[in-house]
Each structure stands twice: as C-alpha cells, then as structure tokens.
Structure 1
Amino acid sequence: MQPAYMDLIEQLRQQIDEKRIITDPTLTLAYGTDASFYRLLPQLVLQLDTLDEVIFAIKTCYERQIPVTFRAAGTSLSGQAQSDSVLITLTRRWRDYKVLNDGAQIWLQPGIIGAEANTILAPFGRKIGPDPGSINSCKIGGIVANNASGMCCGTSQNSYRTIAGMTVVLADGTLLNTLDIDSVAAFKKTHAKMISELMLLVSECQGNRVLADKIRHKYRLKNTTGYSLNSLVDFDDPIDVLQHLFIGSEGTLGFIADVTYNTVINHAFKASGLFVFADIEQTCLAVSQLSKTRVAAVELMDSRSLASVAEKPGMPAFIAQLGAAGNTEAAALLIEIHAEDEHDLGRQAEGLQQIINVFAPIEQVNFSRDATVCDQLWGIRKELFPAVGAVRESGTTVIIEDVAFPIEQLAPAVRDLQILFTQFNYTEAIIFGHALAGNLHFVFTQAFDTQLEIERYSAFMDAVAQLVAVDYQGSLKAEHGTGRNMAPFIELEWGHDGYLLMLAIKGIFDTRGILNPGVIINADKHAHIKNLKAMPVADELIDKCVECGFCEPVCPSRNLSLTPRQRNTVFREISRLRRSNEDPARLASMEKTYRYYGLDTCAATGLCAERCPVNINTGDLVRKLRQNHTEKAKKIASWTGEHFATVTASAKAGLTVASKMHNVLGTNRMRKLTQKAYQLSGHKIPQWTPHMPLPAAKIIAPVINGITKERVVYFPSCSARNMGVEAQAQDKRSLAEVTISLLEKAGYEVLLPANLNNLCCGMPYTSKGFPETAQVKAQQLEQALWLSSQQGHYPILMDTSPCASTSKQHLRKELTIYEPFKFVADFVLPRLDITPQQAPVMLHITCTSRRQGLAAVIERVTKSCAQHVIIPDDITCCGFAGDKGFTKPELNASALAPLKSQVLENCSEGYSNSRTCEIGLSEHSGIEYRSILYLVDKVSHRHNG
C-alpha cells in the first residue's frame, strides 16, 4: 500500500473504528463489487456509522487530495460505484425515516431500500415516485444519485420532479440542509463564490437560446447522460439549482445524507393486459396513441424477447405458438392502468381497448384485475433478463444498456438496433423497455477475455452511440446513469457547449477532483473498455451469477461477513488463481479469509435463490465446499449417524450439566465461563446464553384406544426431542407435550414413528457437508414415516420448519408432510374455537417457511390467535442456521440486530416454527420465543357440542 494511504488510515483511526476500515485485499475485492461489468480494487473500504464520520472522512480525503467514491447497494450497471482508491459504504444505521404530512412527504436516509420506503407509505395510500426494476434491492441514496426511474415513473415522478429537499456533504466537508433556513443562510455566506459561479452558469445557459432549447428537448425524454442540465433552465434559485444538480450526479458532486420526497398516489385499483401485434411498426403506432391517455405503464417486448421466454412455465400458450407459426416479427405491449375506483378502472379499460383494436392485435390477454393473472403477465417481463442470463456461455457477462428515442421514431429505432445486433453478431440480444418514455433496454452477452471481443464490443458501442445520440437525437442513458460506460460519449450526445457546462459544474463542486473520478466526466475516450470485469468459470452452481446484488437484502450475514454476490465474486477469483498459479501467496491469503467470511458464516438458507434473477443458491456452493473433509471426519459423521440416539442423548446430558452449572454459578459467572471455554476450544464448545434450553422431558407416546378417529403422524424433531423450554419459560411443557395436547384437543389420534430417537431428517449432515450420511438418515426417516403413516395414508406433522422443508425436498415416497403453521391452518383451526388474545406478540417467519411460500399462511394463523401481531422489519433469516447460533453466535447477533428495538414494551412473547431459531430470537429480543403451537393451544378450546 502506498504511503499516502497508510498515513490516511492513521488519521481515519482517530474517529473511525479500525474494524470498519477494511484493507484486506479479499474483502476490498468483495465489497468493491457492483452490478456493472467493470472491476476496480479499492485501496480501502470505509464502513461509516454516522454523519460525523462521513464528514470527517470526506474532509480528510479532501485535504490529502485522495479520491473517494460513495456506494449504496451496488446494483448500478454503469460502473459508478467502483473505486481504486477509497470506497465509502454505510452501516445498517442509515435506515431512519419520518413520514410527514400524513404521507404527502417522507424523509429518508440513504440506506433505506426503495421497496421499504413504499411499505412504510402503504398505509397512507402513497409511494415514492421512482420505481426502478431493482427497487427491492437498491437504496434511496443510489436511487437519487442515479435519478433512477422505472416502469410507471416516466419523467414526471422521478427524483428530479418529486424532490422536496435534501442534506448533502460537499467535497470540503461542508454540510447543507436545503430545507433548513439557517443552514441555507450559513451556506450562502461561506460559499458565496460557489453560489455566484452557479448563478453565472444559469444566466449563461438561459441566455444561450440554442443550448437552452436543446436541454429542454433532451429532457422531454428520459435522460441520465451527464449532469442534470435541466436544473439550469428550470430554476433561478441557487439552492434549487444545487439540489437538482445533485440528482443524477452519481456521487461526483458530494454525498447525499438524506432526502425528503413529495410522494405520489399509490392507486388501489389496478389492471394489466397483454397485447401482441403483427410487427414492431404496429406496436409502436399503438404506443404513440397510448401515450396520449392516462395509462400508467406500457412495456414493449420485441419478437426476440417473446421467443426467449416462450418455453418458460406460466407463459400464455400463444407466445410459443408465434414462433412455431414462423412469426418472427411480432411484438407485444404489456399495459397497466391505475384508477381511484373500480368504475373509473373499467372505463379506462374500455377506452384503451378501443384504441388497441385499431392496430389489430393478433393475440391478447384482456385487462384483468385478478392478482394471479397480473402476476403472470408481469412475470413475462421479469423473465426477460433471466432468459438471456441463463443461456449465456460460462465466462461471459450480461450487459444491459438503456437508451431513449423520441416516441414518434420508436419503430425505426428498434429496427435499426436490431440491424446492429445482426451486424455485430449479438444474435441473443433482446429489446424491451418502458415504451411510454421511448426508453428501451437491450440485453446481450459479452466476453472480455480476448482483445478481439473487446474490439467487437467497442465498435458496437460506437455504432450505438452514433445511432442514438446523433441519428435520432436520443439519450444514451435513460435511467441507468452515465457511470464509466457512457462518460466518453457525453460530448457526442450533448455537443461541445453542453460538455463545457458539465466540466464547469464538476469544477464548481469538486475543485480538487476527488469525488468519484472517471465517472460522468472522463477525458479518456477509451474508459468504457478499460478495467473490464472478468467472469471466470468457477463452479456450475454459480457461473450464471451476474453479480447484480439482488440477493443481498435477504442474506443474514450481509452486515457481518459476505453476501451471496460477494461469496461468488471471491470464489471466482480463488478459482482463477488456482488455475493460473500466478500468485500462490495471494491465493493462500484469499482461501484463509474465505474460510471464515465465505464458508463458516454462511447460513446457507437459500433465500438468495428467491431473489436471484437466474435462481442461484449460493448456499448450495457453500455446502459443496464444506464437503472437503478428511476421511477421519467422514468416519466420525458416519458413526454419529449410526449411533444417533446415543449422540442426541449426550447432547441432552450436556443441557442437564449446563443447567446445573447455571444454578450453582449464576448467570453472570456462567456466561463468562462459557465464553472463555468457547474461545479456548476454537468455538467447538457452544456459548451458553440465559435462553439455553433445559433438557426436554421424555416423550410419552399417546395411547391409541381403537376408537375410530382421524389420525396424524407426529414426528418430533431432534431439537424438540432434546431441547426443552428455557428456565424462565411461561409454559413449562415441552414442545412435544404441547403438540400432542393440541392435536388431541382437535380430535386426532397421534401416532409416533417407531425407533424415534434414532431418526433424523439429515439436515445437520447436509449443512456440514456430509451428504452420504445425510442420505442414509433421510432414507431411514422415510421408511419409518412410510410405515407409521400407513404408506402415506395419514398426514405427517413435523414440529420444526427446517426439518419439514428438508424432508419435502429429499424424501421420494408419496408422503404428505406439514410444518406447524400450515397444518394448523388446514387441520386444527377448523376444529377448534379460537379466542384471540389481546396481548401483542412478535412473529418470526423462518427462511424455510419463506422459501415454501408460507409467509401469508403464517401471518394469517398468528393473527387468528392474537389481535396485535408484530413482524419486525429488516429480518428475513435469524442466522441461527442449525447450530451456528452456538458455534458462530456473531452471525445470529448480526442478523437479529434490528430485533430488540422493535419489541413493544408490553410484549412478552414471540412465536415461530423452529426450536433452534427460537433460542436466538429469545436471546436477541429479550422476550421468550416459542413454537406457534403454544399460542394456538393457549387460545383454543374444543367446539361446544
């Protein structure tokens, strides 16, 4: 590391925790990765906790003239979140918000995810204006800094149009709150020169009629190429000009510390329809007419787009038939309409249908309000990117460009783009986009592993730039931001005068050129083909990863170690180094770091696959890599499987010993002693907590009296058989006792499998990388359940969701297996009278339940038993992950860090459906969590009569 960075780090340590100053090359690689096809390696990554830290870091870098880049979620596609110097990221503390004026406005910190802001606003019938396709992952800081838009947003509801105010930090560390009179007044005094220079630009721009007209013309379209020059013709107040220049500035003018949005109506009444036309000309003519109506969204999909998803499940049959009939010209419009009431919605649909009929659709799905139909239709649009990503060759990357054309020229523009695809041999490329704004995305695959491929890409982009910016006077970037990708083409699009304005703006705000250099303003005409990201083959389980980051918000280790995207990135580099043998020392260092950050702290929940556009489950890779055991370890695993009852009895005995030690030592000394033992044992001895369960009581098999009743097979999980309740439990009964009591109350005879104590679903062995032993245990369980259920005749209840999920995946016989919530919903609640309790309860939806699509069922069951149910924000998986809550408690603590603050003062109970998860939830909430079966048993009684 260069001396300048060493000195910088020493100064930063004065106010920033050293743990949040990252210099390890493995971690800087991981944390420096974004969704673009560029790769720069930061010298250091700062994870900043407060506004004071941000100001201090920026001022320190400013004084030393060291470049700094800000990064939000890293879903950006054009390289604007890349740095080879200092990369600033934010901790989870930047997620505060305030709803203002009954939802008419909302104040947001930059760490809030876009979709979370809309969830906050939902009770008010409002939402933020921008609706980018990555809204479930991208953060407010990035949405504003890129002026992201989306399908329904257009140009009227983006950040530029809906901003009410913001707080920014300039390059010299100055803080400005544009909504604070005193802050503005002070700023005008201390930065009079900046104000004067800005107003001179405004005067010159408004006085240059040709340039002013060009700016207005360009912003009729979606346009994020360069700075928001429209602020110079739209506003006369310097603070208005300043804050609107910050929108879309991609971190090159300063740091956005918070924003206040004017929100927009989130209409309750919506409908969608799909209409296929004979060719692109008819399709675009229809768009022109639709643009004159109140339609909310019109998504165009060209013939190649339709062909790419024709065979996907859930697609309308006519899509595949188009290709079979040789119709290679067809294009489609997916249309959404919004209204304030059902009558207005119906009237809109009728009027639009009349317009559409003029252009003779060859196939259609009429406007529908049915949620299932609408989801299927939008599923077509959402499948387009995965369709290209899934078929690309290993080692290539998926590139998504977005441009905008004048809407009246949309048809010939699409034709010309398709000609370029053929000319440059991008045969897989597809076109789709937000047609109302003339905004087209095109997706293609590209390798950067040879000079020939780089030259092909460069020539193609030159041709695209000429076509869009010159021939059609369109926008080279409509909503994805300029970044490094289009920086070399700004002058081509805006002309010399426009480019000089851009240079002047950058010079006014960033006199020393330290803020995100190379982004937006870049004198290197070849910057877009430098620092290209290699995508080397690593493992077929993750080779399709496009590093988009959509997986990150649901990863329990995201604030502790690595996310799925980052695990994939680092493993790709490890694999490349192993093959090339170019740097053995670096390889050894990366493998060592990856062991903890990549493998040991991965919960392997599989939630990442639910968010991944190409269905990658990084947990599968982690489990595979964990299989690298010695023969001795494999033999030990096999022995434990063969003597499972003995092993679990030992675990039960350990709980007994721990309980007795606690009685003698007391809580404080017990915690200190076990923490020491945990450390000295290399994390092999579990770390005790006050919520550690007591040993479970022996399960007594219910008596089958021969009376004809419906029967259910109950399989108590390993954890339920061995772990009882915690010492301070409100209900001292074990989970098995409660389960049997509830089932009998509902009128069922309960059957237990034979040889119960030796049975296991195999999940503990799978997660630790012993698939052979896991398979043996799964087969044993399958046979036992097959016999006890009378060859699948009786339903089977498993009291822990991970066991039920694992068994459903791996058992081959036709067995009907339920986890607690689903079984209660289908079989128990209909047989009982329920009196919902008034006391509030916390609810945790486990990751396995989410993957099974049970979240709605779980919420419904809990709300039938309690009047006030709290589902905490920002928690998807608790991170306990089997036994990792004992062996890697920091993972559990990190995943549940937001929990305790969300527990109401008068709330003393929480519920879930996984015994081990409940231990961690109790530890980090301060209240007791237990199975939902306890709550159902507490508030229910048999039907009268």
Structure 2
Amino acid sequence: MMQPVYTDLIEQLRQQIDEKRIITDPTLLFAYGTDASFYRLLPQLVLQLDTLDEVIFAVKTCYERKIAVTFRAAGTSLSGQAQSDSVLITLTRRWRDYKVLNDGAQIWLQPGIIGAEANTILAPFGRKIGPDPGSINSCKIGGIVANNASGMCCGTSQNSYRTIAGMTVVLADGTLLNTLDLNSIAAFKKSHAEMISELMLLMSECQANRVLADKIRHKYRLKNTTGYSLNALVDFDDPIDVLQHLFVGSEGTLGFIADVTYNTVVNHAFKASGLFVFADIEQTCLAVSQLSKTRVAAVELMDNRSLASVAEKPGMPRFIAQLGLDGNTEAAALLIELHAEDEQDLGLQSDGIQQIINAFSPIEQVNFSRDTKVCEQLWGIRKELFPAVGAVRESGTTVIIEDVAFPIAQLAPAVRDLQTLFVQFEYHEAIIFGHALAGNLHFVFTQSFDTPAEIERYSAFMDAVAQLVAVDYQGSLKAEHGTGRNMAPFIELEWGNDGYQLMLAIKGIFDTHGILNPGVIINADKKSHIKNLKAMPVADELIDKCVECGFCEPVCPSRNLSLTPRQRNTVFREISRLRRSDEDPVRLAAMEKTYRYYGLDTCAATGLCAERCPVGINTGDLVRKLRQNHTEKAKKIASWTGNHFATVTASAKAGLTVANKMHTLLGTNRMHKLTQKVYQLSGHKIPQWTVHLPLPATKIVAPIISGITKERIVYFPSCAARNMGVEAQAKDERPLAEVTISLLEKAGYEVIFPANLNNQCCGMPYTSKGFPETAHLKAQQLEQALWAASEQGQYPILMDTSPCASTSKQHLRKELIIYEPFKFVAEFVLPRLKIIPQPEPVMLHITCTSRRQGLAPLIEQVTKACALNVIIPDDISCCGFAGDKGFTKPELNASALAPLKAQVPQGCSEGYSNSRTCEIGLSEHSGIEYRSILYLVDKVSRLH
C-alpha cells in the first residue's frame, strides 16, 4: 500500500509530468529499480523525465516535502549508488543532445549520451573524452561524471575531474546553475550567498589544516573516488570551481548534473599493444614501477589466477594454457598499449619500452604489434576476465568486482596480501587485474547472500580488505567505481575523522534536508554494506549467469517502451522465486500479468543483447522458450498452418488485396481511423493499417532457361517477398523477386527456384512465436528443397531477406552455401557489373541479424559502392518490427525507430536494407521509402 505522502506527491507531479511517465506499477518498479550492483531497494515511484523543467519541478517538489530522490543514468554502477527506496528519477531518450565546440577541443553533452557515442562524435576531429571506463559502450555521461569514472588509459590526469570545463546543475532546492554562464553565476551567488560563504569557509579551513591538506594531496596522487572530491578544496580558489568539481564523483548526493562540457583529449591514430608474462608478481610489479616513468598509455596487470581463468578461451595465446601445464602458478602478465602521433614516434616508443621490459626477463611475450586484429585479440584477454568468473559461478551467486588502489611502489606485496585474504576467506575463484599505472586493482569473486553465514563471511572479508587497503597501505578503497553504499561505512576509516567531518559538512551545505540519494557516500549505518542485498535466485539456465550489468540495454529495441534484457531477466528471476516459495500469490499473479506484455509480447528477440553480454546471454532465447506455453489447440493450429503453408500465405496476400481496395474506397484518413478501431476491438490481433502496407505481390514467374551454359544460382524468395509487393506510391513498381531475377540475369547467372516454392518457409515465424516443432518441420522441408535445387550444395543460395538467411544458416544441417543480399552482392554481383554510384543520398538500415553475423562493415561497403552519400542513423540497432510485431505491436516498432525521422537529411528520399518486413516499419517512421538493397544495385549497375 502506497504511503499517503507519495500519493500526494504524485498528484502534485501530475500537474507538469505526463502520467504515463510516473511509474507506480510494482512489477515495473522492481524492474526499473535494478542496477548493476548487488543491492536491491524497491522505489515507491519511478519518474521518467523529459525536460530540464520537469527535473527542476520534480526535485523542488520532493525537496519541499522532504522526500528522498535518486538520479540514475544507465544503471551500470557497481556499488549501489543508483538504488532507491523512495523516488527514482530516470531520463527519457530526449536527453541525448550534444555540441562539438572549438573544432573538437571541447564538447557539450547532455547526461543521456553514452560515453562511446561521445567518442564517435569526436572521432572526425581526432579527439575523445578523457574518461574511458570499461563500461563505456553502455554507461552514460551523467553517470561517468557523477562517479568520476576513469578507465584503462585515463589515469588521474584525464578523468572528469581533470577535464571538466563546466556543467549545468540542479541543486536540492531546484535552483539551476550553469558554471559557464556569467549571468547564471552572478544570480546564484546572490541567491545562495550563504552556500558560497560556507564553501569558502571550508576551503580556508581545509587549506589551513596542513596535515589534512597534505593527506588530500597524497591520496589524490592515487586514483580515489572514496567519498567526495576533497581535492577541490585545495586545488581551487574560486567557490564556483570548487562547487562544480565537488559535483564530480558526488553520485547524485549533491544535485543533478543536467549537462557537462568537457575539454577533450587527443585520440592518437597510431597505437600498438603487446603482452608480456613474468615469472612472478614481484618481477611484474617492478616492471610496472619502471613503466610508470614513461609515456605508455596503458598497463593492465593480470595475476596468475586471471591468466588461468581464460587459458582455455578461444583465441588465447597458447603459452597461457601452457603456464598451468608447466606448473607455473606464480606467473603474472602485463598488457601494454602505446599511443603516438606518428609511426616513427611509435617505433621509438616500442623499442624503448621493450628494453625496459627485457630487463625484467619476461618468460613469454607477444611483441608490440600495430595490427588491429592482433591488438583486439590481446585486449580480448583482458576483457574476458570478468566474464570468465561470471560464467563459471554457481547458480544463485552474484559476481562482485571490487576496486582499490595502492601506491605503485607497494603493488607487489599488496597483491600478495590480497591473495592471502582470498585463501583465508575461501574465495578460491577470485582473480586480480587492473590498471597498474595508477596502482588500481580490481578483484573479482563470487558470493552468495542466501544464508547468514555467507553474509558474515563477506562482511568479515570486507573488514579485512578495508584494513589492508586503507590503513596498512594507505590506499584507496574505491579507485574508480564510486563509493556507493558498499564503501560508505569505511570512509572514516580511510580518511580519518577530519576528512570525514569535512564530507559531512559538504553534504550538509548542499542538501540540508538530506533528500539527495540518502545512504550513498554518507551513511551513519556501519552495516549498510551488508543490508538490502540482492537475491539472485535460480530461474532458468538460459539466464542464470546474468550479472545484471546492463551492458545489453543500449541495443535493445524495447528499452524505451517496456523492459530491457536485464530487466526481463531480473523480473523473471523474481517470478521464479515466488512460484517456488508460494509466499505471495497475489504479487505473483500481478507480476505474471505485467510480464506478459512488458516481458514477452514486446520483446523483439533480436539476440543483439547476447553480443553485448559479458557472459553471452541471449534473453530472446528465454522469451521464445516462455512463448512455447501454448494450449493444445494453438499447437494444432500452428501445425495445420505449417502443413498448409501455401494456403495460409495466399490468404495473407488476399488480405493485402482487400486492404488496398478498402484504402482506395475510404481514403487514407478514414482507413486509418477504421483499422485503428478494429485493431483495438480485436485485442490487437487484426493488424492496424498503414499507408506503407505493401500491395500484394504479383506471381513470381520463373525465368526461361535459354539453353546457354551459365553459372547457376538458387534463389529462394522469402515468404514476405512472395506475398508482399511494393507500397502504393513506390518509385519502382516491380516486386522484389522480379528485381532480384533481373539483377541476377544482368550479372550472367541462371536462376533456379526450389520445388514447391509457395509451401516453403525457413521456420522463423514459428520459432519466434514459440512453436518449435512446426518450425523444425518447415526447416526440414526447406532443407530438402534447397538440397535438391542446389544439386546437393553445388550452387550457392540467395535468400532475399536477412532473417531468413540467418535462421537457415543456424538450423539447416546439410552443407548448403546460403547468402543474404549484401554478402551475395559483394561476392557474386559487383565483380561482374559496372557500378555507377548515384550522387543522391540514401539511408541505410543494418538489420539485427546482419549485425549479429558481423556483416555491418560489408553492408556499409556495398552501399557506399552504390551511393556517394550513405547515412547510417545513430541510436538504432534494431527496427523492432520483429517479424509481424510491427503489425500486432506497432508501438515496439515506433519506439525503436523514434530517432529515425530526424536523421533523414533534406533531399534524401530513399532508404535500403535487407529485410522486407523491416522496410515497412522503416518507411512508416522515416517518411521515405525503404526497400531491398537489390533495388539500388539493379538501378546503378551496368554490363561491362
């Protein structure tokens, strides 16, 4: 039952915020409240805010009522800083604006931009942002700044604290301050004179306390994100400078960061990487000490357990596995990266660093290489470390990654002491790796929180770690992952009473009511790090290894509509737990009901999540499995349609005919209104009409065999191509099959069709709807037809739709050579024809199946061979049409393609892809006609 204070709050918020973005559904609160940490708090409401005015209004309203507020960006944070049991504020996709300033020397960013996207924007200028966290492909600028996240090459010189030029912030009382706007600063100094005075007093007291000031300077020579950025008090004299630098790393406890302007850094074009293994950790760390005096860009340390954890992974150098076989359990490695402005400088660096390394007698090595593939393989070792632990952990346990820093001179004994603690507390799977140049080590281990004994083991272990790092070595308990809830109880241990009192004063100055992210950084409860622990109950082997990191979310087409893969997994885990425990049947029933739409019905099941997942989880596999829970009647219907497929597809074609005639009779507006009502009354079973709904395809006419000996190609037109023609206003009225045949004949091929064509299907529609038996039947039938048509695999097979080609490659067992359109064009068509690329711009959509197969570079290459100006829109990985979901759940398609139309440049009137159904949705939401790439190739190609 919601407390009255929140009921009143919601009524107030509704005055300015769309009710749809005020989330109170318990299942969605559970889902949206999940972050990458091992804590679980359930928010009372989640606000999805669209504008800065909404943020100011929400924060001010909560401040007046003394209701706690937590801000969240991507939720990849590991220490519990994005958790709330009150009001959780998230941002809609509208917070993704940016401006490149001063020829790339600076960049202005809103907090919703993903870190890697910022670097993509800066790439043409040869620049990048300074921070380079391991989660840069998922974490957002708001979180990067709020956590002072750093990374492998960033060190302490290029983090947000050092590269920030200015920011706009919202304080607890709703006041807005832009630190780059003189008028804003003047107004702020007038309205908040007392805050400015208190900050200046803190500055003077801190600088006058020599012992404390020296301690601050010492601790920030290391990487340090434990507590607030106290170095701001000794680094700057202007209170506005102090204020904005205190915001860096403040984890939402001082206010909301509405935008940030970075001073960018050079992104060197010339790079080299090498891997060097030493006999023991002592030699390894001595090498690090020498390397820290040079210009190396990154040095990643991996201890012997780390090397052993990835020894059997594909692509690893053979000597890694051999180390274990040789009985060498002491070896450790350094992965080193060099950056330079030119090849000559890179060569000189390589030679100089190699001499330093040789002095420490490496026992194995991969010499410095400039080859991109080699470098990627070497960094793949480092990236595999976290997944290596996550993938082998016991079901029901969580993966914890801690993040400390030691003085470099003491790195070797510190590693030894950490390893001793692993043995003492029986964390036998724990590994150590990290950014050695900064003395920054991560250690990863697995932990269960399902018994008091396990919680006590973890608590005792963390007490020992805190003593070792903060006291014995005077290091940092948090180097780059943020304090959060996890290290809040240990801040005073690390900083002493003076430092801790300083932090209490900072919190009090900015947040007098204590409403901003309470419990994070400042927490009086010395046991808070072992409370509100997240359960990771067994649910299904397909997702049990999920660590809920959120790396999957940026590529999920339903991320702004319903749930992401991480959220689908976490809700299903809770549903599974409730089913076993029978503790709350009412809550279980509510969760199952909500999950049907948010979890199952609106999942596109693209599999792109698996590409981003550190442990390779495809949540789409779970969704397809859960969709198999059909009645016997439904299974019989599916089986009948599989056995009478030609009849079913003929009915679909007839439906397109009827729709076209109705449109002609009623007109566009009336047709829209009528079909929208029918769609709603049918329970979303009868598709809603769109102006881009195709006309029925004309009958495919097989080409006449001329008798002249030609190379043969088997062409399998997909179900969509056989039944769906072009849209009513198409520039080229020919259906896809006709265009394909024209192109193949132009290239000099003889086209062969498989037998019984109209009854053939790859089985994908049945797979996605949860009818695996019928899918298998159709796949077997198609396999036999293709095997015969290709004369037992002798001829290549073209499938004109990428999902069909992908499905067939995955499920057909015979040795058939199957191509989707782009790869086929690249290998079989372009070499035979003269291509005259058109000057008119074209949009290009790379389907999710093509992305999964690694075809994106080839697809871009083929399109650029046919058009001089090719636009690939940002922030779209999948169109969300998902077979027929574009008809039955059009909101999924609309959400996935929401950023599309704004990216179509003026003068562009055509788009291309390789999936007929995707092209319908792309046309609908772009305002231009999308069609198969084969149309473009046919248009611009000539015989030599």
**Aligned-residue offset at 1:642:** 0.1
3-state DSSP of counterpart to 2:689:
coil
The whole-number CA distance in structure 2 between the counterparts of 1:271 and 1:798 is 41
**Aligned-residue offset at 1:895:** 0.1
For residues 146-157 of structure 1, what are the structure 2 equivalents within 5 Å?
A: 146-157=147-158
The whole-number CA distance in structure 2 between the counterparts of 1:866 and 1:74 is 40
What does the per-residue CA deviation read over 1:753-802, in whole Å, with 9 as the maximum and x for residues that have no partner? 01000000000000000000000000000000000000000000000000
3-state DSSP of counterpart to 1:87:
strand
What does the per-residue CA deviation read over 1:29-65, in whole Å, with 9 as the maximum and x for residues that have no partner? 1001000000000000000000000000000000000
The whole-number CA distance in structure 2 between the counterparts of 1:745 and 1:822 is 18
The whole-number CA distance in structure 1 between the counterparts of 2:905 and 2:836 is 22
The whole-number CA distance in structure 2 between the counterparts of 1:790 and 1:746 is 21
Q: CA RMSD in A?
A: 0.3
The whole-number CA distance in structure 1 between the counterparts of 2:727 and 2:502 is 67
The whole-number CA distance in structure 1 between the counterparts of 2:467 and 2:612 is 36
**Aligned-residue offset at 1:905:** 1.3
The whole-number CA distance in structure 2 between the counterparts of 1:480 and 1:398 is 15
**Aligned-residue offset at 1:636:** 0.1
The whole-number CA distance in structure 1 between the counterparts of 2:831 and 2:435 is 47
**Aligned-residue offset at 1:368:** 0.3
**Aligned-residue offset at 1:16:** 0.3
The whole-number CA distance in structure 1 between the counterparts of 2:755 and 2:338 is 58
**Aligned-residue offset at 1:146:** 0.1
The whole-number CA distance in structure 1 between the counterparts of 2:573 and 2:449 is 15
The whole-number CA distance in structure 1 between the counterparts of 2:771 and 2:545 is 26
What does the per-residue CA deviation read over 1:795-822, in whole Å, with 9 as the maximum and x for residues that have no partner? 0000000000000000000000000000
Aligned to 1:177: 178
**Aligned-residue offset at 1:880:** 0.1
What does the per-residue CA deviation read over 1:546-602, in whole Å, with 9 as the maximum and x for residues that have no partner? 000000000000000000000000000000000000000000000000000000000
3-state DSSP of counterpart to 2:850:
helix
**Aligned-residue offset at 1:544:** 0.2
TM-score, with structure 1 as normaliser: 1.00
Aligned to 1:360: 361
**Aligned-residue offset at 1:706:** 2.6
What does the per-residue CA deviation read over 1:222-242, in whole Å, with 9 as the maximum and x for residues that have no partner? 000000000000001000000
3-state DSSP of counterpart to 1:179:
coil
The whole-number CA distance in structure 2 between the counterparts of 1:289 and 1:176 is 44
What does the per-residue CA deviation read over 1:131-183, in whole Å, with 9 as the maximum and x for residues that have no partner? 00000000000000000000000000000000000000000000000000000
Aligned to 1:5: 6
3-state DSSP of counterpart to 1:518:
coil
The whole-number CA distance in structure 1 between the counterparts of 2:408 and 2:817 is 55
3-state DSSP of counterpart to 2:320:
helix
What does the per-residue CA deviation read over 1:443-492, in whole Å, with 9 as the maximum and x for residues that have no partner? 00000000000000000000000000000000000000000000000000
The whole-number CA distance in structure 2 between the counterparts of 1:175 and 1:761 is 57
The whole-number CA distance in structure 2 between the counterparts of 1:20 and 1:44 is 10
The whole-number CA distance in structure 1 between the counterparts of 2:543 and 2:554 is 19
Aligned to 1:736: 737
Aligned to 1:43: 44
Structure 1: state its 5+ residue gaps: none
The whole-number CA distance in structure 2 between the counterparts of 1:332 and 1:823 is 43
Aligned to 2:637: 636
3-state DSSP of counterpart to 1:374:
helix
**Aligned-residue offset at 1:404:** 0.1
3-state DSSP of counterpart to 2:95:
coil
3-state DSSP of counterpart to 1:149:
coil
3-state DSSP of counterpart to 1:236:
coil
**Aligned-residue offset at 1:705:** 2.2
3-state DSSP of counterpart to 2:570:
helix
For residues 502-901 of structure 1, what are the structure 2 equivalents within 5 Å?
A: 502-901=503-902
3-state DSSP of counterpart to 1:539:
coil
What does the per-residue CA deviation read over 1:397-428, in whole Å, with 9 as the maximum and x for residues that have no partner? 00000000000000000000000000000000
The whole-number CA distance in structure 2 between the counterparts of 1:222 and 1:550 is 24
The whole-number CA distance in structure 1 between the counterparts of 2:493 and 2:804 is 60
3-state DSSP of counterpart to 1:849:
helix
What does the per-residue CA deviation read over 1:596-651, in whole Å, with 9 as the maximum and x for residues that have no partner? 00000000000000000000000000000000000000000000000000000000
Instruction: Report how many residues are paired.
Output: 943
**Aligned-residue offset at 1:252:** 0.1
The whole-number CA distance in structure 1 between the counterparts of 2:662 and 2:594 is 36
- Is 1:84 paired with 2:85? yes
**Aligned-residue offset at 1:702:** 1.1
Moved over 6 A (4+): none
The whole-number CA distance in structure 2 between the counterparts of 1:10 and 1:675 is 31
The whole-number CA distance in structure 1 between the counterparts of 2:84 and 2:670 is 47
**Aligned-residue offset at 1:709:** 1.1
**Aligned-residue offset at 1:667:** 0.5
3-state DSSP of counterpart to 2:733:
coil
The whole-number CA distance in structure 2 between the counterparts of 1:129 and 1:62 is 34
3-state DSSP of counterpart to 2:418:
helix
The whole-number CA distance in structure 1 between the counterparts of 2:461 and 2:881 is 49
What does the per-residue CA deviation read over 1:62-90, in whole Å, with 9 as the maximum and x for residues that have no partner? 00000000000000000000000000000
3-state DSSP of counterpart to 1:272:
strand
The whole-number CA distance in structure 2 between the counterparts of 1:220 and 1:50 is 38
The whole-number CA distance in structure 2 between the counterparts of 1:704 and 1:438 is 72
The whole-number CA distance in structure 1 between the counterparts of 2:750 and 2:353 is 59
**Aligned-residue offset at 1:928:** 0.1
**Aligned-residue offset at 1:328:** 0.3
The whole-number CA distance in structure 1 between the counterparts of 2:267 and 2:376 is 18
Aligned to 2:348: 347
3-state DSSP of counterpart to 2:100:
strand
**Aligned-residue offset at 1:725:** 0.1
What does the per-residue CA deviation read over 1:350-385, in whole Å, with 9 as the maximum and x for residues that have no partner? 000000000000000000010110010000000000
The whole-number CA distance in structure 2 between the counterparts of 1:370 and 1:704 is 49
The whole-number CA distance in structure 2 between the counterparts of 1:23 and 1:502 is 34
3-state DSSP of counterpart to 1:774:
helix
What does the per-residue CA deviation read over 1:626-685, in whole Å, with 9 as the maximum and x for residues that have no partner? 000000000000000000000000000000000000011010100111000000000110
The whole-number CA distance in structure 2 between the counterparts of 1:499 and 1:534 is 32
3-state DSSP of counterpart to 2:665:
helix
3-state DSSP of counterpart to 1:173:
coil
The whole-number CA distance in structure 1 between the counterparts of 2:683 and 2:515 is 44
The whole-number CA distance in structure 1 between the counterparts of 2:766 and 2:774 is 6
- Is 1:403 paired with 2:404? yes
The whole-number CA distance in structure 2 between the counterparts of 1:220 and 1:545 is 36
**Aligned-residue offset at 1:703:** 1.4
The whole-number CA distance in structure 2 between the counterparts of 1:719 and 1:611 is 29
3-state DSSP of counterpart to 1:11:
helix
The whole-number CA distance in structure 1 between the counterparts of 2:847 and 2:705 is 33
What does the per-residue CA deviation read over 1:690-739, in whole Å, with 9 as the maximum and x for residues that have no partner? 00000001001111223211111000000000000000000000000000
TM-score, with structure 2 as normaliser: 1.00
- Is 1:471 paired with 2:472? yes
The whole-number CA distance in structure 2 between the counterparts of 1:336 and 1:902 is 36
Aligned to 1:269: 270
What does the per-residue CA deviation read over 1:869-896, in whole Å, with 9 as the maximum and x for residues that have no partner? 0000000000000000000000000000
- Identical positions, percent: 90
3-state DSSP of counterpart to 2:149:
coil
3-state DSSP of counterpart to 2:794:
coil
3-state DSSP of counterpart to 2:90:
strand
The whole-number CA distance in structure 2 between the counterparts of 1:232 and 1:686 is 62
3-state DSSP of counterpart to 2:261:
strand
The whole-number CA distance in structure 1 between the counterparts of 2:660 and 2:46 is 44
The whole-number CA distance in structure 1 between the counterparts of 2:109 and 2:232 is 22
What does the per-residue CA deviation read over 1:9-33, in whole Å, with 9 as the maximum and x for residues that have no partner? 0000000000000001100010010
